[in-house]
Chain A
């Protein structure tokens, strides 16, 4: 019914309206009774009167149904109006309340912004890496095939051409398979030569991935059959960058690696190959590689992807490949011993090692959010307590308890939404930072942005957070007894045992989670410190590096390459400030090339896999330039040229592992795929250890070949007397005097190059430390708030105690005891959390134990100090209570 202001008969005023059907029934019943009585009054018998009344009324059941329907619809509309009316009122109240306490509101909103912002940023990253679809059709059926090298601990090893052909002949799991070679640098010459990324792929790669070019066509199978093929495909990015996105690009002839080639297709904008990023694609035929009798199984360089037949699982394909791998191991023991075959979903292969760190970060951000909720719950609880009078008055004036609870929930949700909106802005800024900081260590398909789904998820998280921290305090407000609150003035400012416990539990929880988070950050930080501070084995300061690309067309022979290297070295020495110059195949900490090792007169046992050793090609001054000590024998010299017996230099780790008796010098070895025609390499020197993989603190065995005998790789290292980058122009000019057409790229300080090696390790540490600091700040505020409220609530009592002769120290002790207990509970619970975090991080820690006492001790100490500082103010205030002021 509508509300009514007209005078009514109070006795009969209906408080709770009846159900629509019942109301209609009683109304119609009244009508019929009246009519029956009127009929009786006119002299009818009761039966006649009843019949006449019904007859006169007409279609009773029809009227009844129609009226019930109309009334029910009215009631529903009214309920809706009420609900929205209440909501509008709640929101108005909440906004007014928030504006009345601006400092509190800003603090709550900022806290929420940080908490939700951190979560949104991490979630955005996790979503784009782990959840967003790969840029391929029906990507769930795509699989990457690897050769695990058991003896080396390598899981994702490359395949040989022979293995690829064998898998093709034997497999039944895939409807199509495609091989590709790793990305390499190439020269695209437009106005001036530019270094671009190129990749050889089998023509069926794009079919297998289910990708169609946006312009032109994909490779045809016959494009790969001839050595003379000139077709290339380009990425969308290269199309935009080099050709301005012009439609005339298709069919255009360009100079690529010194040869004229034709662009036949442009790939879609979001396309990335199964690994790395590539600008130019060239057709590949593995058949050409089958002609090399030694490399066919001895050289492992191919990547391999497949599309599963419908109904075949990745596990099924993996089992089949394991079987094929075992068969090949027996069949070609010389090459394949210790090498298996395995399948992995393409997503997992592309996500790679980033999954665990990302999930750890997501968990950390979640912890921050929980700590934040606990903290806000505590804060709102205090606010509720201080507003008890207000609520009591409203309950006394007839506000329902549900309305009160609902209004407080509206308040907290309003805060949550405001904080959430600010958090999303913060997150999109943070993601921009992550993109620059971490792009290299995340898969190339990840867009790292907040899309609509991410925003919706985060809005839901904000809403949930608002409910989570609002529900406790709201219920506490609804529970209070208005009469007692209003009557007893002193109780209005004190808090009950129940809320005190609730607050204690909240603070203990915050401390427990905060310790866990801090311990995680400290463990990762210590691990990073160990990685960065264990000696690299070479000098990175005052070193300039750059790369050249010698076009095959212009420098086809080893001799021509050696000659140009010599001339460049000479020209560089003439640049003022240059001290040493060296060429190398791969820069320090970036070595990926490994070769099999065979020692003269010490063949590997038939069941013993051939060890693969990191291999670097280096010039004579390499060790001098990098300050790597020569322990025994000599560095490369002018002797190691051309047809002279090939020389090899090994590091300490390799000498100790393979020549434990110390007779390495002078030993003779074969390297690479076993080839009886290859001359023996003689060990001429032993040098100090150099770290390559940053996560391996114990240096790996490494061997060096003379770059003058095997002139591959055109990376230059220049030791300078001053700031390396100051020489950039001089170095460029010197090289240009030798050959002005040579493209130079990757000009950088070695310091920076090595720094990028550590980047993937740094990101989780930076983020987790940030989360830890955030959690610490929030938890400290929580501790402060608990003690402040605790002390304030007992101020009167303290006044009395002091008046009765209690010492101020005694009062302080009282406060500490009451709150300190909860802190101890929190720390104890934190112990469990720390153990859990240590286990979770086990795979991510290098050089320290998973329960490193220094890291854990430090995090507990930091928390204790912060909590102690947070305690100081309320305790001092409690101890300084002036009995006269308080008691008056």
Chain B
């Protein structure tokens, strides 16, 4: 999903995880499925690469983990945002939007440069 070949930057992965967890605590599988469905299965390859990202974010203190019981009475490791994680999410999502808007503005531009023949 976030492996190097997928071409997605690590920062993007973290932003997507933060976004997922902004809905509430969730385990790794749940995060993976939500990202896949939210991105219409564009990012459905190599789910495993999600986990190192989760561990790094735990280390950075953006999220914290806790073992809980699922609705089906199974034990799973749930992640949730910390205060710092919520702050990161706000910053990174607005940053992303500015970035994406800027890129799309350029890509969709119809005004030709002066040197264009």
Contact = CB atoms under 8 A, between A and B. Distances in A.
A79 interface: no
Which among A26, A60, A67 has the highest number of chain B CB atoms within 10 Å?
Answer: A67
B68 A8 contact: yes
B13 interface: no
A24 B51 CA distance: 9
B75 A26 contact: yes
A6 B80 contact: yes
A569 B32 CA distance: 116
A76 B44 CA distance: 34
Contacts of B47: 31, 35, 56-58
A63 B75 contact: no
Given A58-B3, A67-B52, A30 B66 contact: no
Given A9-B69, A31-B32, A70-B56, A4 B51 contact: no
Nearest to B58: A74
Contacts of B27: 27, 30-31
Nearest to A37: B72
B91 interface: no
A247 interface: no
Interface in A28-78: 28, 30-31, 33-35, 38, 56-60, 62-63, 66-67, 70-71, 73-74
Interface residues on B, range: 20 to 34
Given A27-B77, A58-B1, 13 more contacts: A6-B80, A8-B68, A12-B68, A12-B69, A28-B48, A30-B28, A30-B29, A30-B74, A30-B75, A34-B29, A63-B48, A63-B49, A66-B55
A35 B29 contact: yes
B40 interface: no
B46 interface: yes
A60 B46 CA distance: 9
A63 B68 CA distance: 22
Nearest to A73: B59
B23 interface: no
A804 interface: no
Nearest to B30: A34
B67 interface: yes
A30 B77 contact: yes
B76 to A, nearest CB: 5
Given A31-B32, A35-B29, A1 B65 contact: yes
Interface string B21-44: 000000111001100000000001
A67 B74 CA distance: 22
B64 interface: yes
A53 to B, nearest CB: 9
A2 interface: yes
A2 B64 contact: yes
B79 to A, nearest CB: 10
A58 B43 CA distance: 13
A607 interface: no
Interface in A1-29: 1-2, 4, 6, 8-9, 11-14, 23-24, 26-28
Contacts, number: 88
A58 B6 CA distance: 12
Nearest to B61: A2
A12 B75 contact: yes
A11 B73 CA distance: 12
Nearest to A74: B59
A39 to B, nearest CB: 12
11 contacts: A1-B64, A27-B27, A30-B77, A31-B32, A31-B51, A35-B29, A58-B46, A59-B49, A66-B55, A67-B51, A74-B59
A70 B54 CA distance: 10
Contacts of A4: 64, 66
B29 A31 contact: yes
B101 interface: no
A60 B48 CA distance: 7
Interface in A837-881: none
A197 B48 CA distance: 88
Instruction: Identify the 5 closest CB pairs spanning chains A and B, nearest first.
Output: A58-B46, A70-B55, A58-B48, A63-B48, A34-B29
A30 B32 CA distance: 13
B56 A12 contact: no
Contacts of B58: 74
Contact of A71 (B48, B49, B55): B55
Contacts of B1: 58
A584 to B, nearest CB: 89
B14 to A, nearest CB: 14
A444 B45 CA distance: 83
Contact of A63 (B32, B33, B51): B51
A23 B27 CA distance: 14
Given A57-B47, A58-B47, A8 B66 contact: yes
B58 to A, nearest CB: 7
B51 A27 contact: yes
Nearest to B80: A6
Interface string B75-102: 1110010000000000000000000000
